[in-house]
A and B are shown apart, each in its own frame.
Chain A
Amino acid sequence: MVRDVTLGQYLPGNSLIHRMDARAKIVLLISFIVMIFCAFNFVSLALTAAVTILIVISSGIPLKMYLKSLKVIIFIVVITSVLNLFYGTGDPLWQWGFLKITWSGISRAIFVTIRIICLILATSALTFTTSPTNLTDALERLMKPLKVFHIKVHEIAMMMTIALRFIPTLLEETDKIMQAQKARGADMDSGNIIQRIKALIPVLIPLFVSSFRRAYELAMAMECRCYQGGEGRTKMKVLHMSAIDYIMIALMAVVLAGVIFCNIFFWELV
């Protein structure tokens, strides 16, 4: 089954983070990501990691879900940390040909690993606790200033909403078509890579055809309901900033200041 995809899955709940405004969450996530890459020494990195753990806990999402989303990128984490291991400068601790491991290489590898893990956990916390509609609504609102440059913000947001909405539908469709072709003896689980790619053609062509059909139907249905872009369109659920959001933003500012403080005062710990 292709349905076991966790990355970006919304899990309804009523935790502190669930109740936050989606716009605040996005802005905080962006500043958090900046913060992750601003942490230059182990003290500030520890602070970042501690905040990440706090976010994970207060989101009220089972830890199992976070681990699942980490599993998807474990490969990237391993590759980048191994690469960084060999990129250090200074006295080699171990050498084999041009490959050498140094203290700075080790510390770089640890840094990169922790940074990527924090990044994924924080991003997952956003997607786990925010419904796709809220997320795109918030993005639409946040991108509004781009209208000055004649960027069609509403249309982009609508496209994102539709794309997110159809991911499960397309997965289900893929599953069905695969079953149907397997029933006709299609062999998808064996053979070399070229044979496997060829075996996907009987799945991909019907999938494309039905995606286009769906797109036409959806366009028709939207037009029947008089959709004509964002002009003059109002929202049923208006985004609303509450006290939690302001408190969280203030906290974030404090932490960010803390990280910068640690960077300055423990600079020799790099």
Chain B
Amino acid sequence: MSIIETRDLSFVYGIDTPFEKRAVNNVNIKIEQGEFIGIMGHTGSGKSTFVQMLNGLIKPTSGQVLLNGKDIWENPKEIRKVRFQVGMVFQYPEYQLFEETVYKDISFGPKNMGLTDSEIDKRVRDAARFVDLSGELLFKSPFDLSGGEKRRAAIAGVLAMDPDVLILDEPTAGLDPMGRDILLSQICQYHKQRKNTVLLVSHSMEDIARVSDKIMVMNKSNLEMFDKTKNVFSQNKHLEEIGLRVPQITKIMASLNEKGYDFSEGILTVEQAFAEILTKLNKEGKLW
């Protein structure tokens, strides 16, 4: 059984007003336990609306979201439980910090779950370790942290709920290159250790190519593609038509192939390309 499944999921903003807008249109998708899914799409393609429906923050206009086979809106009073199972990190999550100390802020989620104090303490420390916030920072005011630290503290606030599915909406937006790399590898590590499902919305093809197993492409409210990362990024033309692109290195390798080389399709990272070229040269005996 898929951990998340959507059936004809649609959402319309401002229904019955002159500002009516269809944001998500009949999306059918199945996400399996443990997958790392990248979600791409133009600004306004409906991806943020889509992910907010997955944890019941907004109610679909029509269609269903199934979590472990059960419709999440079956019992609207229980919707909070769904939010604990499907954790959501919004864009610029540092703007939602509010407590006196980082520790208290991270414990907000677990406290709402009604856990015992010792369990809360354990979860807060675990979450803080995942995002690499050291002990003394935990007792500082969140407003005294640096930008990157704030971001990580806010993400820890969601990790501390230990959700089965973690959704991150552009977690690296506005961070410097170093901060991006660190955060991304922390998310990866978290995914590997906990073996939970992660959905990452991002505009950076490089980021998505590096970490995800599968990619979901949204275009003008519709689900355009949903396939293995390699397969999606081998459709260069199609992606460019809808205003997206493939990672630079994938494009370079593709144009080398056009010029008569025969590198394998769907190379996604510089490291892969490096290895591929080395083996090629080695085979031809041109390396030394």
Interface residues of A (CB under 8 A from B): 176-177, 179-187, 201-202, 205-206, 209-210
- 5 tightest A-B contacts by CB? A185-B112, A205-B98, A184-B109, A183-B88, A180-B96
B80-A181 in contact (CB<8A):
no
- Number of residue pairs A-B, CB distance < 8 angstroms: 55
Q: Which of B52, B80, B98, B108 sits near A179, CB closer than 8 Å? A: B52
Residue of A nearest to B154 (CB): A180
Q: Which of A176, A184, A205 sits near B112, CB closer than 8 Å? A: A184
Interface residues of B (CB under 8 A from A): 52, 55, 57, 80, 83-84, 87-88, 90, 93, 95-98, 108-109, 112-113, 143, 157-158, 161
> What are 21 A-B residue pairs whose CB atoms fall within 8 Å in the complex?
A176-B90, A176-B95, A177-B95, A179-B52, A180-B88, A180-B90, A180-B96, A182-B83, A183-B57, A183-B83, A183-B87, A183-B88, A183-B90, A184-B83, A185-B83, A185-B109, A185-B112, A185-B161, A186-B108, A206-B96, A209-B98
Residue of A nearest to B13 (CB): A1
A184-B108 in contact (CB<8A):
yes
A interface: dominant SS = helix
Expressed in whole angstroms, the Cα–Cα distance for A209 and B99 within the complex equals 12
B55-A183 in contact (CB<8A):
yes
B90-A206 in contact (CB<8A):
no
Q: Which residues of B contact A180 (CB under 8 A)?
A: 88, 90, 93, 95-96
Expressed in whole angstroms, the minimum distance between the Cβ of A202 and any Cβ of chain B is 5
Q: Which residues of A contact B112 (CB under 8 A)?
A: 184-187
Expressed in whole angstroms, the Cα–Cα distance for A176 and B90 within the complex equals 9
Given A187-B112, A206-B95, do A179 and B57 touch, yes or no (CB 8 Å)?
Answer: yes
Expressed in whole angstroms, the Cα–Cα distance for A186 and B55 within the complex equals 14
Expressed in whole angstroms, the Cα–Cα distance for A205 and B93 within the complex equals 14
Q: Which residues of B contact A182 (CB under 8 A)?
A: 57, 83
Expressed in whole angstroms, the Cα–Cα distance for A209 and B97 within the complex equals 10
A202-B98 in contact (CB<8A):
yes
Expressed in whole angstroms, the minimum distance between the Cβ of A49 and any Cβ of chain B is 29
Expressed in whole angstroms, the minimum distance between the Cβ of A50 and any Cβ of chain B is 30
Expressed in whole angstroms, the Cα–Cα distance for A15 and B143 within the complex equals 50
Q: Which residues of B contact A181 (CB under 8 A)?
A: 96, 108
Q: Which residues of B contact A183 (CB under 8 A)?
A: 55, 57, 83, 87-88, 90, 158
Expressed in whole angstroms, the minimum distance between the Cβ of B231 and any Cβ of chain A is 32
Expressed in whole angstroms, the minimum distance between the Cβ of B81 and any Cβ of chain A is 9
A177-B80 in contact (CB<8A):
no
Q: Which residues of A contact B52 (CB under 8 A)?
A: 179
Expressed in whole angstroms, the minimum distance between the Cβ of A155 and any Cβ of chain B is 29
Expressed in whole angstroms, the Cα–Cα distance for A201 and B108 within the complex equals 12
B95-A184 in contact (CB<8A):
no
A201-B98 in contact (CB<8A):
yes
Expressed in whole angstroms, the Cα–Cα distance for A206 and B203 within the complex equals 26
